[in-house]
A and B are shown apart, each in its own frame.
Chain A
Amino acid sequence: MEGWDPNTKSTLTQIPLLSTKAGPRDGALWTQRLKEEYKALITYTQMNKSNDNDWFRISASNPEGTRWTGKCWYVYNLLKYEFDLQFDIPITYPSTAPELELPQLDGKTHKMYRGGKICLTVHFKPLWAKNCPRFGIAHALCLGLAPWLAAEIPILVDSGMIKHKDDATTSSES
């Protein structure tokens, strides 16, 4: 955890750790894991809200809890940039982390694999591997997606690759 800012560190320590090592093909154990995932996500979302740092919405989009969809956003120069967020729980979960996708940014940055999967190789995958099975979806968002947004969105905005939705409408109207 060297090199992480103290804020992220203190947030991370407050997200409950998970204990059940189970993936979507593990039946009842997966249900148990899913409960732990929900608890961690509930705590993390609540914590963000009370710290005035609310930055994502995520919920399972199928009853099995293997596909998740939602939104995430980032504020830069007092403007809010919002993106669709989606991912599947891989069958080898939690040995492998979910591959977080921002489909609207597909093709706009090199730090992304095809389909809008954000690049997590250097800053996140080793941490996930080290902390398996204690990290879950909430941890992946906190340590994977949040730093990615913080690093990439300013560059994408400054380079003109993404425009704020108000700018986009005014420019198309004029």
Chain B
Amino acid sequence: MEVEIKELLADLQSLNQSLLDPSLHASLHKIQSRVEHLANLAKAEPVRRSKVQDMSTEVVDSNPYSRLMALQRMGIVENYERIRDFSIAIVGVGGVGSVAAEMLTRCGIGRLLLYDYDKVELANMNRLFFRPDQVGMTKTDAAVETLSDINPDVVLESYTLNITTVEGFETFMSSLKNKSFSPSKEGSGVDLVLSCVDNYEARMAVNQACNELSQTWLESGVSEDAVSGHIQLLIPGETACFACAPPLVVASGVDERTLKREGVCAASLPTTMGVIAGLLVQNTLKFLLGFGQVSPYLGYNSLKDFFPTMQMKPNPQCSNVACLTRQEEYALAKPARDAAAKAKLDAEPQSTEEGPLHDDNEWNISIVDDCEPEGPDTRSSDVLPEGLTHELPSADEFQKLPTEAPVIDNDDLEDLRKQLEAINSA
């Protein structure tokens, strides 16, 4: 580029000298100065912004946070700058996770922990965020490279591992527990875990970790045919965990039998993934900064632009032991919760006694509270709103043997291993 510009300047010089018409000199000179300016631009290093000490509300071009801080002035968010205290773990840095990471980075989140074991491939280029020149890098490293350029204020941690393996899971757990970023924080070291993985196994691993740590998390997913997706809020003990019921999927709205499944395992679209990432981070911001309502479950059917929502209570017979422990704790904390709710109600200024809304009530119409009483509810997860179906069947009822003494297995593990080896080598 520099050589080209130099030659262009030389050409202009000689043209200038050979020009006879003096009226053209002015415009030629203008072109020359433009080219010189271009040359300077080409020489300049790519601009890297320096870290920002405090988030300023000042509205100037050079303030990266001015439009975010405006949320405060508009009364949407009470204290936006709190976002710098929060840590978010993003599990899976693919089509949804990478975009969610970029959104949170641009929002000025305090710390991001990124988990993935994959590398960037050319086949990923139909999605957002990663660039062709990053092919071959691990997704976590490539993400850190881009994100730290976009916003150097964000603390980034990258973990290249598979959380479903015994080893990977241990590192995953200990990284979530690490509180060095905000030692005074209660609970784990992160404020929210975002699951942006593409398979059931990894979701169940996130579920396991969050149930054990009593960590609130948001699950997200895009269907394999790329036309629907969902996000779901999971609060251990309070809402259904991922193992409480078979995972929900948004029905595509077209006859499943007409879908071609032969030959491919997954399609993807940048649009669906972008929508889901947007919904996921929007609910993350609402959760962290305390505005609006966080959706317990929000589906997205792109073929019909239909957004089903629902709520799921935990299953008292959940197969996940940690989930049952969290459910017990939640039930035990009920008096404290009620007291807090009452205190909050009392603290609010009592509205002056309202008279009846309507003076006459010819038809004796009365409003009935349709909130279900709190307590274990086994039905809730079986009845699904329109547009949602289960992805997998429930486990068949495990035939329990009549209560006899448990069969004691006297076989030796090492003997069995040797037996298999013997058959294998026979």
Contacts and interface: CB of A to CB of B under 8 A. Distances in A.
Interface string A38-52: 110110011001000
Interface in B106-124: 118, 121
A112 interface: yes
B265 A112 contact: yes
A126 B162 CA distance: 23
Interface string B313-351: 000000110000000000000000000000000000000
A106 to B, nearest CB: 12
B201 A90 contact: yes
A45 B205 contact: no
A132 interface: yes
A70 B423 CA distance: 13
SS of B interface (majority): loop
Given A91-B169, A122-B261, A125-B392, A38 B201 contact: no
Contacts, number: 109
A49 B146 CA distance: 55
A91 B263 contact: no
A125 B395 CA distance: 12
B210 to A, nearest CB: 12
B205 A92 contact: yes
Contact of B118 (A21, A49, A114, A119): A114
B87 interface: no
Interface in A137-152: none
A92 to B, nearest CB: 4
Contacts of A131: 395-396
Given A64-B166, A92-B164, A131-B396, A35 B421 contact: no
Contacts of B413: 31, 34-35, 38
Contact of B424 (A21, A45, A122, A134): A45
10 contacts: A24-B166, A42-B420, A91-B164, A91-B208, A92-B208, A99-B164, A110-B264, A113-B199, A114-B118, A134-B398
Interface of A: 21, 24-25, 31-32, 34-35, 38-39, 41-42, 45-46, 49, 57-60, 64, 66, 70, 88-92, 95-97, 99, 110-114, 119, 121-122, 125-126, 129-134
Q: Which 5 A-B pairs have the closest CB atoms?
A: A38-B416, A92-B204, A129-B392, A90-B164, A119-B265
Given A42-B423, A96-B201, A133-B398, 6 more contacts: A88-B165, A92-B205, A110-B264, A111-B263, A111-B264, A131-B396
